């Protein structure tokens, strides 16, 4: 029962994150009330239950029948699962905070190709209480500043994100993360032939690279 409660709390956070990604910075996250983006109908409580509402409605608006995107439910599932594994102490608080910040920043990158500096700032301040400062953090921030004055291939937001990752990763893990992300980005670019002129959001690949690098380091430590 406790795990179910923790999972539910996580899905509520995921639902709130979806609201922030969907509205910010164009509109307020407080007003107007949640509504269908197609017909404008205000949603009631039964339409806003994380995961359950979208499952019952078969990912459609109950009022106009428009198809809803599945990324809301995916985000709610991810936050719910993260809360559970954090509660069970399978991962530490630093990892959980990085993942929560990643969910938001990846969402913004996929939706608007934008980097939410305010989310990064809040996450950075919170992480400073859970983990000591390390040299890779300042190295990535320095590269982010240099990117603003030069034509580096990566954006400043990507380096700032790696600064957050550096709270739980050393230089080797950071390098591995960057390598895996670059490899994933290249494969994606090669497969998306019709969209080669479009800008590729890189934060999702950095987040996946971070998760893979952390998992690989765990495996390496077990083998040793």
Inter-residue contact 141 to 160 (CB < 8 Å) = yes
pLDDT value at residue 176: 92
CA-closest candidate to residue 170, choices 138, 206, 136, 214: 136
CA-closest candidate to residue 163, choices 138, 126, 131: 138
pLDDT value at residue 13: 92
pLDDT value at residue 18: 85
Per-residue pLDDT tens over the stretch 212-222: 998 888 776 66
What confidence tier does 177 reach under pLDDT thresholds 50, 70, 90? very high
Per-residue pLDDT tens over the stretch 81-103: 999 999 998 999 999 999 999 99
Place of tokens 């910010």: 24
pLDDT, mean of residues 169-198: 82
Q: The pTM is what? A: 0.87
Both tokens of residue 98?
Answer: 């990085």
Q: Distance between CA atoms of 82 and 9, rounded to whole angstroms?
A: 11
Q: Distance between CA atoms of 112 and 194, rounded to whole angstroms?
A: 20
Inter-residue contact 131 to 164 (CB < 8 Å) = no
Per-residue pLDDT tens over the stretch 106-154: 998 888 888 888 899 999 999 999 999 999 999 999 999 988 887 666 7
Percent of the chain clearing pLDDT 70 (strictly above): 83
Q: What is the DSSP letter of 194?
A: G
Q: What are the beta bridge partners of residue 60? A: 67
pLDDT, mean of residues 6-16: 91
Q: How far is CA 91 from CA 72, 87, 147, 166, in A?
A: 24, 9, 33, 16
CA-closest candidate to residue 101, choices 25, 212, 172, 20: 20
Please check the confidence at residue 195 and state whether its pLDDT lies above 60.
no
pLDDT value at residue 87: 94
More confident residue, 137 or 72: 137
Q: What are the beta bridge partners of residue 42? A: 35
Q: Distance between CA atoms of 201 and 216, rounded to whole angstroms?
A: 24
Q: Which of 11-15, 34-38, 47-51, 184-188 is the least confident region?
A: 34-38
Q: How many residues does the chain have?
A: 224
| Radius of gyration of the chain from its Cα atoms, rounded to whole angstroms | 19
């Amino acid at each position: 029962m406790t795990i179910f409660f923790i999972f539910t709390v996580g899905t509520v956070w995921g639902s709130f994150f979806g609201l922030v990604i969907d509205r910010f910075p164009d509109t307020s996250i407080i007003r107007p009330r949640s509504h269908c983006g197609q017909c404008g109908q205000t949603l009631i409580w039964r339409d806003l239950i994380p995961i359950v509402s979208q499952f019952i409605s078969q990912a459609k608006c109950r009022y106009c029948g428009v198809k809803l995107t599945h990324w809301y439910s995916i985000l709610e599932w991810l936050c719910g699962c993260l809360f559970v594994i954090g509660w069970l102490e399978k991962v530490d608080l630093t990892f959980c905070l990085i993942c929560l910040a990643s969910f938001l920043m990846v969402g913004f990158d996929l939706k608007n190709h934008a980097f939410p500096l305010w989310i990064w700032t809040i996450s950075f301040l919170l992480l400073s209480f859970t983990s000591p400062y390390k040299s890779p953090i300042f190295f990535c921030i320095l590269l982010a500043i240099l990117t603003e004055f030069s034509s580096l291939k990566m954006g400043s937001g990507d380096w700032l994100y790696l600064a957050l990752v550096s709270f739980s990763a050393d230089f080797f893990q950071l390098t591995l993360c960057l390598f895996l992300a670059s490899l994933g980005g290249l494969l994606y670019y090669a497969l998306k032939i019709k969209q080669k002129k479009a800008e590729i959001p890189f934060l999702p690949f950095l987040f996946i690279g971070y998760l893979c690098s952390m998992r690989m380091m765990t495996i390496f430590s077990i083998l040793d």
